[in-house]
Structure 1
């Protein structure tokens, strides 16, 4: 039957589902309009409900306003009434009933609410599955109008029941998002929460080692002195609830005064006439107590008690989750802080700022770390060489943090032993691979000499660093890279290229993990560009800058932790002497030889060699070449500044051969033999020292005097 048609229903039946063709026609066809009683036929499989013209009138709908879908009737049935009616029908369909009936109200187009009654017959197939409902709907306003007080009582009781059910559902839904004890308290204090039960005051306490600690009370000025921390044995209602593990309903002011005379004088001044104290029980143990205090109320109905018990159970579960979360958060933060450096050493010639931010969601622990490593000849020995590390172990759990702690210590040890950056990274990768863990790590290691400004970078699958110039501009530094730590060892690709640049005075390096730049749906390159813009527009003070950057991360949220390290080169407090640089040069490694020459060039310029710079570079290059040509091992070149009566720059080239060098004259066309001749003529002093099974050839150059401003 088409929606709104006045014809018969399914073949052989009238609109009300009865056999058609009876003498005189169907009762509804004859008397339905006069009685304001219409019929409907609801096809449950298709989800369509056909109604006759009288049914349209009951709902105050024109035929063209109804499309045959039951949902369209929502425009006439208030939400709460519709929910109750849906529950009645659903229960009948589920429990096998053949019929159902219900009163509900319909809002007419003029806004008036009119009582309506419906009665439905459920048709089921051979398997008992409902597939069709036929029935009637009629105007019941006149019927119920004969007893207005009963009608009002029924409506009021139903409205109150719906209101309480709504409070339980709303509070439970809000508590599902509470992560901390404070969140739970905020939900309970919310104006749309338990206050709608009519409570004037709220108190909540947590059970801790045989005592009850008050964690919430309200409103302001309602605190009862002496109840901040009470024992379970004391004569208070919260203590009684914990002892008995049962609710305590105080139904009148007299009941309160007689049961708790010590507490009553303070309660009386608040105008309290009734109270309900609910035990918050989780895993059969009391974890807290909730107290609701009422004004102008006496007694609690059975339904009110049921609602309060249900709320108490929901609150207890949320409170336990919140307490577990806070315990895990404290543990995670403690573990994370234990793994990170407790203090950052002061480095002459540098200003350093670091920050770590845990994930906004989850267990608040991860594998991100930073480190500042004093290097041989560095800060602890009066020099200015320092290693800066930023890294990220895969994963966000305690295992990731444990791996991070081991990796940080190992990498720090390799760097402190004086190994070249590429060697430090390769050995760290081998160590991680041998841990037999399924985790890998990305890392960026920068070895900086703050006197010369020379910085050597090694990158293992990590983000490139950023450079903040003195003029406030910020750009990304492209750094050659290798595979992440662990993976490079697994695939036998332990060669890490070294990228060298000069860090100018007042320039700043920014090293970070991807948690600082990564956002869902955004490319990492876009994130780095955005970060560079934030750095360029940020404050010049490093601590204020890192706080601003971390504040942006905090506001954005996310499921990844973030580490950040800023290192600024300061020339005004850099050491004027005692500088020390070192480079390993392996045979057949032109890259290392190029790095050594670059290091020498940067050092003599930064240390104020003046006119002697070319001489020093030439002599040092000849010494390195001799060591590589006349020995079978690697050469280690070391540059340092000696202070004393005059400033001297010393060049040491160490090799593994015990054979002493011999000075000899070169032939007219020969090249060999010129090395030591140049050393002898250009240096102010030179010599050879035994070093274990090898030796060290050294030379010294007197340098121009420098004033305290660093100028020769």
Structure 2
């Protein structure tokens, strides 16, 4: 059966033209079969038997005998497909089956049959071919693997591009390039990123998947390096072999060779038509670059360049905004006798997203100190500018000697009259380190915290008013004053909401967390302030933070061991005489170590100046301060804001010598503004005294 009509393809002359069909089929590993469904016999030519690896002697004309040359699953699948085609009226079928060849490798065969039917649609014959498809499927699998690899690399580039879209700083971009999970699937052994700085390229990132390229940190753009070349020419450079790398860049090659680099791609990073950096991609197993490879790499470089430019702009804007904010804050914190102060300011992390947070420390008359923390609405440079103006105004009102309620009210009116559509919250405290007396006012701000000497920490409830600006707009300028005593060793903590506020979290939870950290934190102020800022960083807050800590020392401040006060009215000589008698009595009782005459002369001069040069009277206060050194202090207060000034009395002048006397006879003196006038004060060092207090 198998030999019927069979013709040996090998016996034919391949030079015959045109070639007979049997020769063409045999040379292309194809053969024909004719299956008579009525008799059940299947004729197969010699080429078809050769495709199956069957000799004519092994085939008996029965289709079932072919099953032993096919794996059981393959034979069953072929039978099922033929049966289905015969039943459903199909005109043919086509499938691939795997064939066994003894101890040799299996092959793949493409079986295709055309079903012949009679006029009633009954199948009676199948004409078809067997074709060796082993190489075809191998090529298809290779193409599929190649396509899969291209899809995978494309997806890596797309994923990196998405990640880079969220990079806000240069450090963020570097983190992406050094992340093995982000770029490792591209088959890279190392990634190098350089930024153009003037006429040099600064390498800011190198290394990938545990490797490192110790290229020079700075290289000139005119030097013989691949990064320098791509920056100069603005064209990518693809190095396809180790030999090319070594010959073109002999200085760099000794550093690259240990990494077993087979090829490399260097790209200029171009933004707005100018190079801002260069990118180096080193491969260990890539031989050459196809057009698709080059397009993919250039796309990656373009994405990195855009992200890098965006990051640089963000950092420039952030530096500008932060510089503005820092310029608005106090340049130095004054030394406060009897108190220790720690302050911190941390700007927002992103771009121009800074706010109007501030702190301030204001020395006040009589050794007192004013401390404030506030926050202007908004997160932009305008908020920072408004903050600077408001801080200076609040400081000026406090330094003039106004009480805390008046300071807040006047600051609110000022902010309202700026017409900025901004409001501000603030907490302000006036502290006397000598006595511990503390007067606190609050304008829409959070309550401060109080850390006690045993480490416990609690909120300090403070009666509050409306935020600054709003209270003036709604004519509600009342700011109640809360008075508490700050014991020696206790710490006042004032802060803005950036320290405790977290999007989606309850504000009270943030304050409770802050309270616990203050309670368990370091005892010293500076380490405690650092820990609180680190807490905010760890929580990922993106708001400004202003923080002020004040601790009363107590023992460092001179304490008043005696105090006398006398009011001297205009045109009242008896009050002037009474003040002089009061001063003499105090000096006799306290003892002055021989300085009584100087003290009387200076005090008389100051009282006389008030009565002669102002329209009001004087309040004379005499105190003995005991501390490391015993001092007597004289304060003469009046209602005039005009400050005393030295004048040249001339050779015969009898006026203008008062301040010269004060300057010569006192150990120290000065002038302090008060809300309703001024105080001229002076101090005299005195010897220890055992006399009684008056």
2:192–2:279 Cα contact (<8 Å) kept: yes
In structure 2, the CA distance between the partners of 1:190 and 1:414, relative to structure 1 (3 Å rule), is same
2:346–2:545 Cα contact (<8 Å) kept: yes
Q: CA deviation at 1:425?
A: 1.3
In structure 2, the CA distance between the partners of 1:426 and 1:569, relative to structure 1 (3 Å rule), is same
Matched, 1:344 2:333: yes
1:144–1:151 Cα contact (<8 Å) kept: no
Secondary structure of the residue aligned to 1:348 is: coil
- Aligned twin of 1:575: 558
Secondary structure of the residue aligned to 1:193 is: helix
Q: Deviations over 1:498-538 (max 9, x none)?
A: 22111111111111111222233444344333322332222
Q: CA deviation at 1:337?
A: 1.6
Q: CA deviation at 1:694?
A: 11
Q: 1:534 aligns with which of 517, 520, 528?
A: 517
In structure 2, the CA distance between the partners of 1:268 and 1:479, relative to structure 1 (3 Å rule), is closer
Q: CA deviation at 1:324?
A: 1.4
In structure 2, the CA distance between the partners of 1:361 and 1:325, relative to structure 1 (3 Å rule), is closer
1:360–1:554 Cα contact (<8 Å) kept: no
Secondary structure of the residue aligned to 1:377 is: helix
Q: CA deviation at 1:35?
A: 5.5
2:616–2:638 Cα contact (<8 Å) kept: no
- Aligned twin of 1:300: 289
**Distance of 2:450 and 2:621 partners within structure 1:** 28
Matched, 1:487 2:470: yes
Q: CA deviation at 1:398?
A: 0.6
1:189–1:195 Cα contact (<8 Å) kept: no
- Aligned twin of 1:558: 541
**Distance of 1:409 and 1:213 partners within structure 2:** 42
In structure 2, the CA distance between the partners of 1:459 and 1:236, relative to structure 1 (3 Å rule), is same
- Aligned twin of 1:126: none
Q: CA deviation at 1:453?
A: 0.9
**Distance of 1:537 and 1:643 partners within structure 2:** 36
Q: Deviations over 1:430-482 (max 9, x none)?
A: 21112121111111110111111111112111111122111222222221222
**Distance of 1:308 and 1:488 partners within structure 2:** 60
TM-score, structure 1 as length reference: 0.61
Q: Counterparts in 2 of 1:20-99, with a 5 A limit?
A: 34=81
Matched, 1:426 2:409: yes
**Distance of 2:402 and 2:166 partners within structure 1:** 51
In structure 2, the CA distance between the partners of 1:334 and 1:254, relative to structure 1 (3 Å rule), is same
Secondary structure of the residue aligned to 1:192 is: helix
- Aligned twin of 2:53: none
Q: Deviations over 1:215-240 (max 9, x none)?
A: 12225775455x32222222222122
Q: Deviations over 1:16-61 (max 9, x none)?
A: xxxxxxxxxxxxxxx99736999xxxxxxxxxxxxxx9xxxxxxxx
Q: CA deviation at 1:401?
A: 0.6
In structure 2, the CA distance between the partners of 1:372 and 1:312, relative to structure 1 (3 Å rule), is same
In structure 2, the CA distance between the partners of 1:426 and 1:637, relative to structure 1 (3 Å rule), is farther
Secondary structure of the residue aligned to 1:281 is: strand
Q: CA deviation at 1:195?
A: 2.9
Matched, 1:359 2:348: yes
2:190–2:211 Cα contact (<8 Å) kept: no
Matched, 1:276 2:259: no
Q: Deviations over 1:536-567 (max 9, x none)?
A: 22222222222222221111112321211111
**Distance of 1:36 and 1:147 partners within structure 2:** 26
Q: CA deviation at 1:252?
A: 1.8
Q: CA deviation at 1:181?
A: 1.8
- Aligned twin of 2:503: 520
**Distance of 2:444 and 2:562 partners within structure 1:** 31
Matched, 1:181 2:170: yes
**Distance of 2:232 and 2:83 partners within structure 1:** 61
Secondary structure of the residue aligned to 1:201 is: strand
Secondary structure of the residue aligned to 1:419 is: coil
Q: Deviations over 1:556-604 (max 9, x none)?
A: 112321211111111121223599999xxxxxxxxxxxxxxxxxxxxxx
Q: CA deviation at 1:164?
A: 1.0
**Distance of 1:340 and 1:271 partners within structure 2:** 55
**Distance of 1:153 and 1:695 partners within structure 2:** 94
- Aligned twin of 1:207: 196
**Distance of 1:164 and 1:473 partners within structure 2:** 58
Q: CA deviation at 1:648?
A: 6.5
**Distance of 1:695 and 1:184 partners within structure 2:** 59
Q: Where has structure 1 moved over 4 Å in runs of 4 or more?
A: 35-38, 142-146, 219-222, 577-582, 632-656, 693-696
In structure 2, the CA distance between the partners of 1:152 and 1:341, relative to structure 1 (3 Å rule), is same
1:359–1:557 Cα contact (<8 Å) kept: no
TM-score, structure 2 as length reference: 0.63
**Distance of 2:564 and 2:544 partners within structure 1:** 35
Q: Counterparts in 2 of 1:246-257, with a 5 A limit?
A: 246-257=235-246
In structure 2, the CA distance between the partners of 1:291 and 1:313, relative to structure 1 (3 Å rule), is same
1:458–1:499 Cα contact (<8 Å) kept: yes
Matched, 1:499 2:482: yes
Q: Which runs of 5+ in 1 are unaligned?
A: 1-30, 39-52, 54-102, 104-113, 115-141, 379-384, 583-607, 609-631, 657-690, 708-712
Secondary structure of the residue aligned to 2:181 is: coil
Secondary structure of the residue aligned to 1:509 is: strand
Structure showing greater radius of gyration is 2
- Aligned twin of 2:6: none
1:449–1:581 Cα contact (<8 Å) kept: no
**Distance of 1:183 and 1:251 partners within structure 2:** 31
Secondary structure of the residue aligned to 2:559 is: coil
Q: 1:406 aligns with which of 389, 395, 415?
A: 389
2:622–2:632 Cα contact (<8 Å) kept: no
Q: 2:426 aligns with which of 440, 443, 460?
A: 443
Secondary structure of the residue aligned to 1:313 is: helix
1:506–1:570 Cα contact (<8 Å) kept: yes
- Aligned twin of 2:147: 158
2:236–2:267 Cα contact (<8 Å) kept: yes
Q: CA deviation at 1:391?
A: 0.4
Q: Counterparts in 2 of 1:4-19, with a 5 A limit?
A: none
